[in-house]
């Protein structure tokens, strides 16, 4: 694995600023224009075209999902790849970007058993909890329309160490997302209690920064999610 330099991180942050605007609502499909994002999106479209029949599980979201292929790689290779899983996360994505991606080729011809979805933490500085919840709901509705035989394991946002205000917002968003659980096609899982010491303090051994996870964090995630995951892919 190559390390991402400080300058590269700054570049991605600048590109993200130019690629999104607060005026766009979380339920509106909006693409990004930065080259890395377009490269990932095109790769996921190609993946659907070339490996569609072998794709049984799709993980969707932002960097927290994408980093299953970095900090969580060993767990991914052992636990998810053998079950036909693919990781369609992209660093920096907001709900608008995921919605656009699934409307523009990433699901074409697919019939997976399960979608694992975690998205919305990057919307927090742009929208209200109600709006973010509607954005996630819109994504779920789009998955259900395009993949009628596919179940959705909707994950609540994991906690961040960004202060009380952000912690309150995350808790409020998760309290709204639970209402999308319909008992079968969409199931909701809130993992917050396993990642935090208190409402505003995450477990340091599970985090590499304010919101990204260590390998131990991904192991914790796997352990919590596995019972419901296993049930939903049957």
CB atoms within 10 A of CB 194: 15
**pLDDT recorded at residue 29:** 98
Q: What is the mean pLDDT of residues 46-67?
A: 97
**Whole-angstrom distance, CA of residue 98 vs CA of residue 146:** 14
* Tens of pLDDT, residues 11-32: 334 344 434 444 699 999 999 9
Q: What is the mean pLDDT of residues 126-140?
A: 98
**Whole-angstrom distance, CA of residue 100 vs CA of residue 207:** 29
Confidence class for position 141, pLDDT limits 50, 70, 90: very high
DSSP per position, 68-103? GGTTTHHHIIIIIGGGTEEEEE-TT--HHHHHHHHH
**pLDDT recorded at residue 13:** 41
Contact indicator for 56, 84 with CB cutoff of 8 Å? yes
Contact indicator for 57, 85 with CB cutoff of 8 Å? yes
Sketch out the chain's domains with CATH numbers: 34-232 (3.40.50.1110)
Of the candidates 3, 44, 29, 35, the residue with the CA atom closest to the CA atom of residue 16: 35
Residue 9 has pLDDT above 50, yes or no: no
Cβ partners under 8 Å of residue 67, min gap 6: 89, 212, 213, 218
Percent of all residues in the chain with a pLDDT value above 90, rounded to a whole number: 89
**Whole-angstrom distance, CA of residue 41 vs CA of residue 106:** 7
Percent of all residues in the chain with a pLDDT value above 70, rounded to a whole number: 90
Average per-residue pLDDT for the chain? 92
Contact indicator for 25, 131 with CB cutoff of 8 Å? yes
**pLDDT recorded at residue 158:** 98
Q: What is the mean pLDDT of residues 117-135?
A: 97
**pLDDT recorded at residue 156:** 98
Please tell me whether residue 150 adopts helix, strand or coil conformation: coil
**pLDDT recorded at residue 234:** 93
Residue 7 has pLDDT above 60, yes or no: no
Lowest mean pLDDT among 16-25, 100-109, 127-136, 207-216: 16-25
Alpha-carbon torsion angle 79, 84, 90, 93, nearest 10: -100
**pLDDT recorded at residue 21:** 43
Residue 91 has pLDDT above 60, yes or no: yes
* Tens of pLDDT, residues 169-217: 999 999 999 999 999 999 999 999 999 999 999 999 999 999 999 999 9
Q: How many CA atoms lie within 13 A of 174 on its CB side?
A: 19
Q: What is the mean pLDDT of residues 33-48?
A: 98
Residue 10 has pLDDT above 70, yes or no: no
Of the candidates 192, 139, 203, the residue with the CA atom closest to the CA atom of residue 169: 192
The first and second tokens of residue 155, run together, are: 């994950």
């Amino acid at each position: 694995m190559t390390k991402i330099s400080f300058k590269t991180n700054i570049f991605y942050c600048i590109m993200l600023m130019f690629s999104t605007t607060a005026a766009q609502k979380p339920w509106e499909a909006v693409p990004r224009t930065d080259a890395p994002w377009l490269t990932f999106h095109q790769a996921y479209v190609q993946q659907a075209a070339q490996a569609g029949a072998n794709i049984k599980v799709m993980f969707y979201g932002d960097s927290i999902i994408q980093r299953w292929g970095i900090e969580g790689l060993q767990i991914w290779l052992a636990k998810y790849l053998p079950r036909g899983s693919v990781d369609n996360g992209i660093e920096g994505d907001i709900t608008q970007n995921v919605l656009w991606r699934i409307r523009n080729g990433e699901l074409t011809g697919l019939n997976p058993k399960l979608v694992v979805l975690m998205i919305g933490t990057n919307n927090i500085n742009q929208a209200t909890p109600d709006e973010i919840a509607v954005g996630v709901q819109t994504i779920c509705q789009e998955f259900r329309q395009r993949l009628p035989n596919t179940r959705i394991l909707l994950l609540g946002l994991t906690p961040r160490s960004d202060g009380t205000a952000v912690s309150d917002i995350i808790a409020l968003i998760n309290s709204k997302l639970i209402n999308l659980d319909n008992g079968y096609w969409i199931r909701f899982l809130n993992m917050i209690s396993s990642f935090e010491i208190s409402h505003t303090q995450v477990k340091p051994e599970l985090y590499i920064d304010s919101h990204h996870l260590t390998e131990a964090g991904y192991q914790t995630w796997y352990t919590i999610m596995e019972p419901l995951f296993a049930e939903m892919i049957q």
